[in-house]
Structure formats: C-alpha cells, structure tokens
Structure 1
C-alpha cells in the first residue's frame, strides 16, 4: 500500500457487505478455526462460540461489543500464524472474486483511482485481515481494528478507539489531520448500514449501498447517493 503520495481527495469505503458481499469478520474467523484446529474441532469451537454470540445479541449487545468478542477469540494466537492464515484466506477468495466482491463497488474504486483519489478501507474487522483485501484491490490505506500483540501473541484485546459507528468518523478525521488534508467536503464515503451514518455524514459525497428498504429511506431522507445491490 502507498503510504506517502499526494491525492486530489480521499474515498472511504466500509468493507463488510460494501466492498465484499459478506461479513469478512465472521467468514475469516471460521476459516481460521478450521486451519488452526482442523475442520471437526474448528466447527465444535465455532458452534460453542456462536451460542455465546447469540446470547449477547439476544440481550441487546451492540455491534461494537460483538466485534470485541471476536477479537477476544484470538487470544493466545500467534501473530505470524494468523498472518499466514489471512494470506491463505484471501488467496482462496481471489479464485472466485465475483462471488466475494461487489462489482458495483469495484467499479467505483477504479473510477476514483483514475481520478487520483486515495482509496481508504475503513472497517471494524481486524487490520491483519483488511490489509490483505486492500493489497489485492490496490487500496492505499487501511483504518481497521488493531489487535494488541504481546511477545508475538494476541492478548485478546484491541486498540481503542474502535472503528465502528461514531468511531469510524473519528478515525477518518484523525487520518485526514495526519495527512494535513482539510477538505472532507471533497471526499467520498461508501457504507451499507445505518451504523455507517456518521462516516457518511462527514464527507461531501456520501453513497449508501442499499439492500433493504429501511436504509434506503434513511439515505433518501438525507439526499445521499444510493447504489442498490442484491
């Protein structure tokens, strides 16, 4: 990824169900379990943890809490091993990219790159995972959840602030300040969920990736550009 380059403006893309067709957080974790423990043991672990997650969701746990739980599941894992698994995961996905990425959004990425825009992926999923996707799609920067490492192993905690909801907007503002870029009105942002509203609201050109009527109405009320997907 390009770290030092002058761009005309920046485009901020949510990843899960915006750039990709599914939730990478879940998809990758199940893949990683199977790689680390084998298919049978991996499925048993996933089954037990899914029960825990459903209980949290049933009692109103936020998206932020669910993401933090997934980060905690990596406690004790070796950083190098997980990096290798992430590389294997994206290589598998790239064999059938039409089933993994949204073609409408890939077209948007290409369009903006041709206009000398900086492409930034913004996600609550682990940075070690989103960097793999960014590398394959030629994104320039990543703003994602950083898992804390001690002595080469994950502690089960993640760095704050989180990259969810208001956290996305805060991290984008911090990113622009670090780049000495002060024209968010020139920037574009893409998101598929109402939790992306803060990110979409701070740029001049927001685009809502719409799969359901509720978010479509929400976006229309704010006069955001709408991209309908299946």
Structure 2
C-alpha cells in the first residue's frame, strides 16, 4: 500500500511555461506559419486583456478551449506529441527541483497525480515522463471525433479541490495529512488545502503567505 499520494500542478510548477498557450502557438504556427504567429498574438492579447479586466480564470479556461471547436481530437493529440518532443528537448523545459521531488516520492513507492487546467494532448507526454499514476485535467467535450469547443469542467480553483478530494476518498489506506501537493499560484490553494504537506514552487507572495499561515498552524488541514 502507498504511504501517501502526491498531487502536482503542471504549468510553472512541473514545467517552466504555460502549456495551454505555448501549445496554441505551436499548433497555429504549425498549421499557418507566420499568419499563425499573428493569430496567436491576437488571442494572447485578448486573454491578457480579459484577465486584467478581472474575468474569472474558470471563464478564461472555457473561452480558451472554444478555440479548438471543430478540430479532430486525434490530430490535436498528434500535435501535442510533436509539441512535447520539440519543447522538452530544450533546456529549462522542466522545473528540475519539482521533477527531482516527484522522483523521490515515486522511489518511496508513493503515486504521483498531476492536476492541471491544461488538457490531455499536452499533459499525456508529460505524465509519461514523470510516471504519473493519474492526470486530473480539463476534459473537453468530443462528438464524432471532434472537439465541440465546450468543456465538462475547467480544472481550476475549487474544481481542483473537489477532484483531489475524490481521489483521496477512493484511497482509504491513505491519510490526507500525510499527502503532498505542489503548486506555484494562489489558484492552487484549494488543492493545497486538501493535504497536510503543501509545497510552494516559485516565490508568489500570496502563496508564501498562505504556507506561512499553514506553518504557524502546524500544517494542520484547514476546515473542509
């Protein structure tokens, strides 16, 4: 039996970039060349403006995946493998401290679960590389082999909390107090709340303050 489980965010926690936008750029340039680069810049600017205006991350996540409406799932999955092969060959793709930490947990016999607002085509090869047991991600709706542009549930914020708690409920042999979770952003706090051993990657001040509060509380699990 596993002594504990390890949950890890992906973007800027396990890898150094934002996989959704980096993949979008890769895909558009792959299909349209210079025109794809321009289209990506327009999309990126639009999302940045929306975020600055206070649009919730969950809505931004849904809006992002509408860009894939009508695309064949198999083709996007193939592009995801090509994206990973190219990007992972570059130095600095992975956050090495997180990779090493996850490897240590696996060596101790403890499963790793990735938790991300990104989607399967880009997460699958990353999960293989770090030998994750499972991936909790944003699930896109597929009909007749094509993405509809809708999602079942953005794996953002409170959805991360609910997903992690479902996994823990399925593992009565594991105590939440013994589990680890890795994140880089305040939006990961709902996931970190689920475990007794939260870990910050990077130096986001709000996340640092949260972890200091947990430390002062003896890392006790916050109320449900």
TM-score (norm 1): 0.88
Higher strand share: 1
Counterpart of 2:2 in 1: which secondary structure? coil
Does the CA-based 8 Å contact 2:3-2:174 persist in structure 1? no
Change (3 A) 1:156 1:7: same
Assess if the C-alpha contact under 8 Å between 2:7 and 2:112 holds in 1: yes
CA distance in 1, matches of 2:72, 2:35: 18
SS of equivalent to 1:19: coil
Tell me how far apart the structure 1 counterparts of residues 80 and 173 of structure 2 sit (CA, whole Å): 32
1:17 equivalent in alignment to 2:9: no
Alignment deviations for residues 78-110 of structure 1 (CA, whole Å, 9 cap, x no partner): 1110010000111112312x4111111011011
2:54 alignment counterpart: 60
Out of 12, 26, 29, the position equivalent to 1:31 is 26
Q: 2:93 aligns with which of 100, 106, 111?
A: 100
In the alignment, is the contact (CA less than 8 A) between 2:186 and 2:207 conserved in 1?
Answer: yes
Alpha-carbon contact 1:200-1:206 (below 8 Å) kept: yes
| Structure 1: segments with no counterpart, 5+ residues | 1-5, 226-230
2:222 match: none
Q: Say what the alpha-carbon RMSD is for the aligned residues.
A: 1.8
Is residue 2:208 matched to residue 1:213?
A: no
Please state how far the C-alpha of 1:182 moved relative to its aligned partner. Answer: 5.1
User: How far, CA to CA, are the matches of 2:142 and 2:173 in structure 1?
Assistant: 31
Aligned residue-pair number: 217
Query: Secondary structure at 1:16's aligned position in 2?
Result: coil
Q: How many Å apart are 1:50 and its aligned residue?
A: 2.6
Question: Which segments of 5 or more consecutive residues in structure 2 lack a partner in the other structure?
Answer: 220-224
Aligned to 2:44: 50
Superposition deviation, residue 180 in structure 1: 4.7
Moved over 3 A (4+): 178-182
SS in structure 1 at match of 2:181: strand
Give the CA deviation at 1:63: 1.4
Distance 2:175 2:150 in 1: 34
Partner SS for 2:17: coil
Judge conservation of contact 1:20–1:101 (CA < 8 Å) in 2: yes
Structure 1 residues 181 and 52, CA gap change in structure 2 (3 angstroms): farther
Counterpart Cα distance in 2 of 1:135 and 1:129: 11
